[in-house]
Structures are given as structure tokens and as C-alpha cells.
A = this chain, B = another copy of it.
Amino acid sequence: MKESMATVADLGEFAVIRDFFAPLHETNAPGMVVGIGDDAAVLAVPRTQQLLATVDALVEGVHFSGTDDPFRIGQKALRVNLSDIAAMGGLPTWYLLSLGLPAATSTAWLAEFVRGLQVTGAEFGVRIAGGNITASSAGCSIHVTMFGQVGQGRALTRSGAQVGDRILVTGTIGDAALGLAVRQGRLQAVDEADRLYLEGRLDLPEARIAMGLAVSDAAVVHAAMDISDGLVADLGHLCQAGGVGAQVDVEKLPLSAAARRMVERDPELWPLLLTGGEDYELLVTATEGALEILETLARQTGVPWTEIGVITSAAEIEIRQQGQPMSLPQKGWRHF
């Protein structure tokens, strides 16, 4: 049997942990008193800080396919969670990993998956603190609990949007939804470079940690969240949390060059850009007076803000195109 064709069942659980996950463990990681290998991690939260904790999962057959690159899956599993820490204005610190693996999972797949964890962990400065591996009778499932820290009272929350607030987003919207449609053969990118860009946006969300920290430090927004279920759906969650409505102008949406080329070729794609999931950009509301500060933070972090609309007292999200209300077939990603 070739080494690369060995399976996790050949190795057994403890050898899998020893050979693949224990090497991820770093001694002397900040605040990690006890890491991998005991019944629970022991973690020290500095006195001035509050703990952030979030969990998100990638499930085979739902979020990825068995033929997708495991190196990218490992990176994405951390990045979707890092985006939640960014949305709270936090600094990510540690994570726990709970894996369901089919017995036939190859060690080659696992090695690349772990390399993805390692690379993204190093990039964002987050350390594995523990986890769990169980057999799965069906596909692979990856559940990551991500921890972060935020100064007391400085967490950015979804509630708090005020009527008259400007609505802003980081980066560009709709790339991941287009990337997924292209990968699944439902759409064609304009050219190969665009295809690579859009699929890259699907596979490697940015996780706007630096901007989240800057916004928390500046205490400059009323409400914040990350966009994972699609702009319209998540803006709906933000408005619901604040008891407000919103008006968004489609013309103002920040699009990548690749997305703009596709929507110019086919204007029917607008609803997909507005409702497709997995942007992992930040969505905030702030007073008009705060815009200059946000612009300064954009220059400092290199992450652009774009104003896309305004918070209203209406009980709905109004999407306008050329000044006219636009109707959408559905608001966002449906899990069921």
C-alpha cells in the first residue's frame, strides 16, 4: 500500500492525532495553559479582555465536495470563523476542531487539510487548543469553535442601527456566489483569470480582522456583522436586531472587476449578487459624521469601505435599481 493511499482507519484515531494534529500544537502559545491532549483546554483570558466564542461548520455535500482541494478546505474552515471574530471587533486567539471523518479518508487528504489549518493559523496568529475526532458514517464534517478577545464593552454587535445611519460594506459583494455558480457550471466567467479570481473569493474568504479591530478601537459604528448568508438576508438580520429598516441602491454596490464584467454581460445576475452567500465582508451602520473616520481606517488598513444605502424607519429592506424598487426571488442562502 502506498503511503498516500493509507486511510485514517489504517492509522487509528490516536495515531491520526499524534501524526497530524499534535504537530499543530505550539508550546508557549499566549494564554494557552493546557492545549491539545487533556480532557479540556485551559486558557487564560487577560483581565482587560472579554472572550469571544463562535462555531461554524463545513459539511461535505453541503459546503464542499469530496473532490475539492483539502488545502483550501482547511483554510476556509478557519477563515469563515475568523470572519465572525472580525465582525465582533475581536483579535482571534485559539480554536477547537471537531472532525467527523469517514473511515476511508486518505491520510493524503488529511495532510493537505491540516496544512491548510497550519497556514491560516499562522497567518492570523490563532492556535489549536484541542478538539475531537469521530468516525462519520457519511461524509466529512468540520466544526470549528473559534475564540477571540475584545476589550471590555468594545464588542461590535448587530443591534444598535439608528434611523439615518449610512450602511457600508468592506471589499466587494457577490464574488463568492458567482464563483460557486461558475464552479458548478451554472455560469461561465468572462475569462480564465476571472474564473480563478471568483473561485478564489469563494475558497479563501478574507476575514477582515484588521478592520474589525480598527472599528472597535475607534468606537465608530452603531451595528456590525459579517455577510455570510447574502447581503440582503444579513442586512435583514441587522435591521431586525435594531428594529429598523433599510434602503439600498444597487448602483452603489462595490463589485470586483470580474463581477462587473459578468453583470454587464447579463443584468439578470443582479439578484444573485445581492442574495448569494459567503461574501464574508463586514457590514456596518454609522452616522454621516463617522464616514470620515471610516475613510481614514480604510486608508490605514488597505480595506475599502463603500456606502451602499441608509437605515430607515420602515419595516423592510428596500432594494432600489435606478430609483425603482427591485423585487428579489429570495432573500438569501437557505440552509434547508
A interface list, Cβ under 8 A from B: 7-9, 11-13, 16, 33-34, 37-45, 47, 50-57, 59-63, 84-85, 87-88, 90, 94, 96-98, 100-101, 103, 129-139, 141, 143, 145-148, 150, 152, 155, 157-158, 225-226, 241, 334-336
Contact = CB atoms under 8 A, between A and B. Distances in A.
Nearest to A158: B38
A54 B130 contact: yes
Contacts of A133: 335
Given A61-B137, A133-B335, A335-B13, A53 B38 contact: no
How many copies of this chain does the complex contain? 2
Nearest to A63: B134
A88 B40 contact: yes
Contacts of A134: 57, 59, 62-63, 335
A133 B85 CA distance: 18
B98 A157 contact: no
Contacts of A9: 336
A55 B139 contact: no
Given A41-B53, A137-B139, A141-B141, 20 more contacts: A7-B336, A13-B336, A16-B336, A33-B50, A37-B241, A39-B54, A39-B226, A41-B52, A42-B51, A53-B129, A54-B96, A54-B130, A56-B132, A57-B143, A59-B134, A62-B136, A63-B134, A98-B98, A135-B336, A138-B139
Contacts of A129: 53
A160 to B, nearest CB: 11
Of A7, A150, A155, the most chain B CB neighbours within 10 A belong to A155
A115 B51 CA distance: 28
**Nearest 5 Cβ contacts at the A-B interface:** A138-B138, A61-B137, A40-B54, A39-B87, A9-B336
30 contacts: A8-B336, A11-B336, A13-B334, A13-B335, A34-B157, A38-B225, A38-B241, A39-B54, A39-B225, A39-B226, A40-B53, A40-B87, A40-B90, A41-B51, A41-B52, A42-B88, A44-B51, A45-B45, A53-B94, A55-B96, A55-B130, A55-B132, A55-B143, A57-B132, A59-B135, A60-B137, A98-B98, A133-B335, A136-B138, A136-B141
Nearest to A225: B39
Nearest to A45: B45
A222 to B, nearest CB: 14
A39 B158 contact: yes
